[in-house]
Amino acid sequence: MPYPQTQQEIQERVRAFKEELHRLGWIEGSKIAFDERWTTDNMDLVRSNAASLVESNPDAIVAIGGRVIPILKQTTHSVPIVVMTVDLIGTGMVASLAHPGENITGFSVFELSIIGKMLALLKEIAPNVSSVALIYNPDNPSTAFFQREFENAAPALAIAPVIAHIHGLDDIARAIEEMARLPNGGLLFAGDVTVHALREQVVTLAASKRLPAIYSEPALVKSGGLASYSPDRIDLFRRSAAYVDRILRGEKPGDLPVQQPTKYEFLVNLKTAKSLGLDLPDRLLALADEVIE
């Protein structure tokens, strides 16, 4: 898990995973044991933990994140790995979605066309937006696909696309400052652990420059961000438990098809919208899974 162990929303996902395995008959302390590794986005920790996990010869590994999975793939070709990431085909992690092959299968946490959906929602929330910055960390190989989708979707919405690569808070602050200098600017944050770890600062920076922003994690909206659109991660963790169950009962990961998200969440923070002078249409509020007031 490339997150701090203290992050409550990530703990809730892991808890959902364990509860589903328990429901399927895998009782912790009796029939199953968990070895959790919380690495944040520290790549040295990711590498050392991947190596020690593989050395412990587990029956299965569950991993999330475009930076973590390639390291595990390099470390073992035999231990079954159930993953959650963006584009398993594009990053070369599996041979095909229907027949992944080798020892990796899992779930897409972000179907790429969602970038266009997020951009359209931002335009509906803030109709005057005419230029939007896609902000992401290029160290995550999965995020390269975000840019292509973003640039393809922007012209149809009369939006000028701006690409902002970031590696830390200073880069994010600089990108937001640059967008604030443009008339009718907006922000779109692609899913990445760097942004997630800095969510309080990111939301504060966007608010200080009065820029409408849409995020790929609900946690940023609950921290005061304007809106988010994303797959239901709790659902993905539960479905991952079902794949682990099948592997523990003898099925091969290479025979289990990679699955796409089936549930999505749209969150809007009404207080933040009002602070930006945005009057959200009733249709949009009716679409939201959660409206934070």
Q: For 152-168, write each residue's pLDDT tens digit.
A: 999 999 999 999 999 99
Q: What's the gap between Cα 193 and its chain centre?
A: 8
H or E element, residue 206: helix 199-208
Residue 11 pLDDT: 95
Q: 174 lies in a domain?
A: yes
Same domain flag for 90 and 27: yes
Please tell me whether residues 190 and 201 are part of one structural domain.
yes
Q: Kindly write down the DSSP assignment for every residue of 118-153, as one continuous string.
A: HHHHHHHHSTT--EEEEEE-TTSGGGHHHHHHHHHH
Residue 160: what pLDDT?
A: 97
240 shares a domain with 133 = no
CA distances from 34 to 15, 16, 27, 159, 260 (A): 12, 14, 11, 47, 26
Owning domain of residue 120: 114-230+265-292
Q: Is the pLDDT reported for residue 83 higher than 90?
A: yes
Mean pLDDT value of segment 50-55: 96
267, 221 contact by CB (below 8 A): yes
Kindly report the pTM of this predicted structure.
0.87
38 and 130 inside one domain = no
What's the pLDDT band for 288 if we cut at 50, 70, 90? very high
**In this structure, are 101 and 245 located in the same domain?**
yes
Judgement on whether residues 87 and 177 belong to the same structural domain of the protein: no
| In a shared domain, residues 149 and 223 | yes
Strands across the sheet containing 104-108: 61-64, 81-85, 104-108
Nearest to 96 by CA among 290, 257, 262: 257
Which pLDDT belongs to residue 110? 75
**Percent of the chain topping pLDDT 90:** 78
One domain for residues 65 and 12: yes
Counting the structural domains of the chain, the total is 2
Per-residue CA distances from 139 to 44, 48, 219 (Å): 14, 18, 22
Same domain, 150 and 236: no
| CATH classification of the domain holding 75 | 3.40.50.2300
If asked whether residues 243 and 101 sit together in one domain, one would say: yes
List C-alpha distances in Å: 247 to 34, 75, 250, 279: 15, 19, 5, 50
Mean pLDDT throughout 227-243?
A: 96
3 lies in some domain? no
Q: Does the pLDDT of residue 12 top 90, yes or no? A: yes
114-125 and 144-153 are packed helices; what angle lies between their axes, rounded to 10 degrees?
50
Q: 3-state DSSP call for residue 290?
A: strand
pLDDT of residue 128: 96
Q: Does residue 1 lie in a domain region?
A: no
Most confident of 103-117, 188-202, 246-260: 246-260
pLDDT of residue 152: 94
Establish how many alpha carbons lie within 13 A of residue 40's alpha carbon, considering only the half-sphere containing its beta carbon.
8
Report yes or no: 183 and 176 within 8 Å, Cβ to Cβ.
no
Least confident of 14-28, 62-76, 116-130: 62-76
Q: Is residue 2 part of a domain?
A: no
pLDDT at residue 10 is higher than 80: yes
Work out the mean pLDDT of the chain and round it to a whole number.
Answer: 93
Q: Is the pLDDT of residue 173 over 90?
A: yes
195/236 same-domain check: no
Average pLDDT for residues 203-224, to the nearest whole number? 95
Q: How much of the chain, in percent, has pLDDT values that exceed 70?
A: 100
Same-domain pairing of 92 and 156: no
